[in-house]
Amino acid sequence: VIHRLPVPNLKDELHCFGWSAGNTCFEDCTRRRRKLILPSLISTRIYVVDVGTQCHAPRLCKIIEPVDVFWKCNKGHLTRTHALPNGDILIANMGDAAGRGNGGFIVLDGETFDLKGNWEHECGAPPTGHDFWFQPRHNVLVSSAGLVPRRAGYGFNPDDLHTGVFGRRLNVWNLSCRTLIQCFDLGEDSVPFSVRFLHNPDAAEGYVSCAMSGVIYRFFKNEARCWAVEEAIRIPPKKVRGWILPEMPAFSANIVISRDDRFLYVSNWLHGDIRQYDISCTSKPRLVGQV
């Protein structure tokens, strides 16, 4: 440990941080990864951390308070962060200020980190939200469903899979128009979580992991130039005793694609293993490693 950076508030639940500049900004040589954006899942507070001035001693340089997000965007429970091609910061959310389901995104200015407002057009907000990824050359953003924060906060109840607490949709957006153009229902027991496009900027395909069903779907642009999904991987549940269900799903909480687009790594949170799949043939991943 070379440095510790405490934050001044409790019960934030810092979630998935992101850089202030992403791969899509690299054509602008003036942009550097000097700031980390830390959204909070519970409090909705946003921290901006300076890692460029002293990389071995990061410091807080800005805090956006929850009330500002609530009043300006009516969003809450922030999850994933990515830098947009224009340099602004896009943050996904699960619900609204009251914890009801209300997916979508908020935008921070990429230079000042001021809160600019909502990203999507109001009529296109999905019921819930969690993760997202985009491919600028195909003018597309794909987002996953997540869950309804207020209801899920009471703990996991299997009956909630049938009552709309957990999301089941994969959403496809027009990146430049910020409108929802396609939705895929992946099933009431799916809970789509982690979304990843291939790193190849020309590739029109990627994967989404479904936490409860143990299925990883491939999404892709078909011959009709529309988006489609197909099952690529299915991780079977394990029979257990003394758990809330007779079978324990893999709960694939996160997936990562290697930089050369050769391998897909899957974190099976509940089963306690990490899997490596060869995706040389993207439609037929092949298990080649497991820890």
For residue range 247-274, what is the model confidence (pLDDT) as tens digits? 999 888 899 999 999 999 999 999 999 9
Tokens of 212: 């409860």
Domain endpoint, select from 101, 119, 137: 119
Q: Say yes or no: 9 and 85 in one domain.
A: yes
Between CA 109 and CA 60, with CA 15 as vertex, the angle to 5 degrees is 55
CA dihedral 233, 235, 236, 241 (to 10 degrees): -160
pLDDT tens digits, 93-123: 999 988 888 889 999 999 999 999 999 986 6
Q: Say yes or no: 149 and 74 in one domain.
A: no
Encoded amino acid at 278, one letter = D
Q: Say yes or no: 179 and 216 in one domain.
A: yes
The whole-number average pLDDT for the span 23-51 is 82
CA atoms within 13 A on the CB side of 127: 15
Q: Say yes or no: 152 and 268 in one domain.
A: yes
Number of domains in the chain: 2
Q: How far is CA 291 from CA 48, 216, 233, 276, in A?
A: 35, 19, 17, 9
Q: Say yes or no: 137 and 85 in one domain.
A: no
CATH of the domain at 163: 2.130.10.10
The whole-number average pLDDT for the span 157-162 is 80
Q: Say yes or no: 289 and 183 in one domain.
A: yes
Paired with 238 in beta bridges are 248
Q: How far is CA 150 from CA 76, 131, 158, in A?
A: 11, 18, 16
Tokens of 175: 């990146």
Long-range contacts of 8-12 (CB under 8 A, 24+ apart): 8/60, 8/63, 9/43, 9/45, 11/42, 11/43, 12/40, 12/41, 12/42, 12/43, 12/45
Q: Say yes or no: 270 and 133 in one domain.
A: yes
Residue 25: is its pLDDT beyond 60? no
Q: Say yes or no: 158 and 207 in one domain.
A: yes
pLDDT tens digits, 198-219: 999 999 999 999 988 999 999 9
Q: Say yes or no: 135 and 108 in one domain.
A: no
Q: Say yes or no: 153 and 256 in one domain.
A: yes
Residue 22: is its pLDDT beyond 70? no
Domain endpoint, select from 98, 119, 140: 119
Encoded amino acid at 117, one letter = G
Q: Which pTM does this prediction carry?
A: 0.93
Residue 27: is its pLDDT beyond 60? no
- Residues 6 or more apart whose Cβ sits within 8 Å of residue 164: 101, 127, 148
Q: Say yes or no: 114 and 59 in one domain.
A: yes
Q: Say yes or no: 140 and 283 in one domain.
A: yes
Domain endpoint, select from 119, 146, 178: 119
Domain coverage including residue 18: 1-119
